[in-house]
Amino acid sequence: MSEKDVQLDLDDLAPISVSVYTRLEHFRQCIESLANNHLAKHSKLYVFSDAAKPGDEERVGRVREYAKTITGFKEVVLKFQETNGYLKNMADAREIPLVEHGTMIRLEDDNIVSSRLLDFINEGLVRYKDDYSILSVTGYAPPIGQSKYVSGDVYLSLFYGAWVTGVWRDKPYLSFLASEKPYSDMMDSGLYGRVMSIHPGLPNALKLMDQGVHHAGDQKLSYYMIKHNLYQLKPVKSLVKNIGHDGSGIHCGSNDKFDVCLEDVALDVGLDNRRYNPRMDRLQYRYFHGSWGLNVVKRILKNLIKGA
């Protein structure tokens, strides 16, 4: 197999797992974009629908009625929760398909994908199956001008992007997510300085996770990737667009900052350069959180004041 030749077994593609609550139109666009991939008809689709909170019964009912009409996939498996629980629904969506099949393509209802997304993720899952330095493959690329710094179509990142990811059962994805005290782990491991130097906003997020008031799997995974020198494979052109920043999401405000142009192009998952380039993550941090250097200084000053 050459670096540009990945053979897919159409009888053994990664299943697709989508979680949803009340956002019917987001969900519909997500499913339609997935179905527009030529590999959809060879792929098993799981839909995890959370049960309604009081007052949301009608909207959840509409989502579930639509889910029952989904076609265009090899098989559609509907998992309708009987009691409301955001965290349980999310956990089921990432654990059940992965444990059953060994690989999984995970996304939420507000992710719109390119017609080449399933090719890219499946090819990445095949190519890097035995490469334990790569924890995950994502289809999302923030508009930070990657092509100016990356010679090929993909690069390595220590920041875990959760907007459509491909993962393997025999890599520590699930065990990292199961950790309940990532901040304590960071402090006990003496990694505070290293984490701050890479992702200045992460230590505070980890502390809130330890306190049980914040839940963000992508941030938890970013910490463990930093700790263990593991990477996520990212494309230079985005095959994913998130439409949840319209005020409808649990963790999302309303803005168009994260709009990207979806690329309907074939991308080569082979790495031209296996070296990690920290510039890419600094550019990504700046895009999502503002100036990297300024955030480092703010965090240091904040901690000095606390310790005074």
Q: Render pLDDT for 21-51 as a digit per residue (tens, 0 to 9).
A: 999 999 999 999 999 999 999 999 999 999 9
pLDDT of residue 51: 98
Tokens of 271: 């790495």
The answer on pLDDT for 157 being more than 80 is yes
The answer on pLDDT for 119 being more than 90 is yes
pLDDT of residue 250: 42
The answer on pLDDT for 293 being more than 80 is no
**Phi-psi region at 164: left, alpha or beta (left = phi > 0; alpha = psi -120 to 50):** left
Average pLDDT of the residues in 40-66: 98
pLDDT of residue 209: 96
Q: How far is CA 295 from CA 188, 216, 290, 307, in A?
A: 23, 20, 8, 18
